[in-house]
Amino acid sequence: MEDDEKTAQIVRSYLVHEGYAVEIVTDGLAALRAAQKEPPDLVLLDVMLPELDGMEVCRALRRTGDVAIIMLTARTTEVDKLEGLGAGADDYVAKPFSPRELVARVKSVLRRSGRDADVMVDDLSVNRKARQVRVHGVLLALTPTEFRVIDALAAVPGTVLTRADLVERALGFEYDGSDRTIDVHVRNIRKKIESAGGSPLVIRTAIGSGYALDVDA
């Protein structure tokens, strides 16, 4: 449905802005295939899905792994909530919902499940809760935007994020300037990493594409 697609895109924008990598699928079978191909940390699962409904998807995901699951539904009776939680959901959010509230729920579930842990690559560590980056234990004096850039990269280490991806995550989906501003932020981050005794090449340039936090640095 058009309204559901619009809501999905809005939720995606809010989550991407917080540094999460997001994939949208539109039916239950596609959700299971996507989760099998690349297991996610968390699934936002609509109960009313074509092909295979959300409850069945939830049960299938729970049988095959420990992925965090938040159910989204307009069905709000106590029986409905108990059914969702009984199927293995970690949380249950009723429609309509605030995107900001949903992001807070995502963070809470990930924190409880231990899937929002700090990231360590070579001698560089990213503490997402404290919003700090250290190299050899030395705290880097990053600007808020610089932190969001490296935090976005740390969320998917080894994966190339395009400049457009990084603009959306670090500067917000309402930013309408040049995506080349990301190059400036990356250059400044590299200088600070190098000043702390680390390798600036831990942020790898993918020529013509974007950047990645290089797990082999």
Domain limits of the chain? 2-113, 119-213
pTM above 0.85, yes or no: no
pLDDT of residue 115: 61
Q: Which range is least confidently modeled, 41-45, 149-153, 176-180?
A: 176-180
CATH class of 119-213: mainly alpha
Higher-confidence residue of 173 and 55: namely 55
Higher-confidence residue of 29 and 21: namely 29
pLDDT of residue 94: 85
Per-residue model confidence as pLDDT tens digits over 117-175:
677 887 888 887 778 899 988 999 999 889 989 988 887 788 888 888 888 777 765 67
**Strand ranges, E, within 28-123:** 42-46, 68-73, 91-94, 119-121
Do 12 and 103 contact (CB within 8 A), yes or no? no
Tell me which of 1.10.150.120, 1.20.120.1200, 3.40.50.720, 3.40.50.2300 is the CATH number of domain 2-113.
3.40.50.2300
Average pLDDT, the chain: 84
Sign, Cα dihedral of 150, 181, 211, 35? positive
pLDDT of residue 91: 86
Q: What is the mean pLDDT of residues 175-193?
A: 89
User: In this structure, which amino acid lies at residue 83?
Assistant: E
